[in-house]
Amino acid sequence: MDVLAFDQPDLGQRLAALTDEQLDEASFGVIGFDDATVVRRYNRFESQAAGLSPHSVVGQPFFTSVAPCMNNFMVAQRFEDAQDDGVPLDETMPYVLTLRMRPTKVRLRLLALPGAATRYVLVQRQP
């Protein structure tokens, strides 16, 4: 497999084609959720960085149970707006994670394609 890069332009299309084992090889967090915002994909990197097992995350509502700190206009609302408007979403932003951890600076990349079964939040920890 080619190495996945956080800033890769076609990453939204590539993620859908990857197996869970291939997602585990990424050097950044990958969280995929469905139209009901239920987590369907959660890679090893994010599991280890967040200290949450895939078993405790997959199948849970992302914005209310797993990451309520992202349930705001900067993250959740952007997914909702893109879905309502039927447009792609590909935005990268600096963010600070605060839930169950000391404040942690990250870059988030929000990916959604119209008609795709899974939308993604990518998490790149900052040094």
pLDDT in tens, 19-48: 999 999 999 999 999 999 999 999 999 999
pLDDT at 103 over 90: no
Written as one string, the DSSP assignment of 65-107 is II-GGG-STTTHHHHHHHHHHT--EEEEEEEEE-TTSS-EEEE
pLDDT band at 112 (very low <50, low <70, confident <90, very high): very high
Q: How many CB atoms lie within 10 A of CB 85?
A: 10
Strands 89-97 and 119-125: unpaired
Torsion sign (Cα): 26, 122, 6, 83: positive
CB-count burial class (<10 Å; 0-12, 13-18, 19+) for 119: buried
Residue 127, SS3? coil
Q: Say if residue 58's pLDDT is above 90.
A: yes
Phi/psi of residue 114, nearest 5 degrees? -55, 130
Q: Is the pLDDT of residue 5 over 80?
A: yes
- Res 77: pLDDT: 97
Q: How far is 104 from 84, CA to CA, in rounded Å?
A: 31
What tens digit of pLDDT does each residue of 91-102 get?
Answer: 999 999 986 667
Distance of CA 101 to the CA centre of its chain: 18
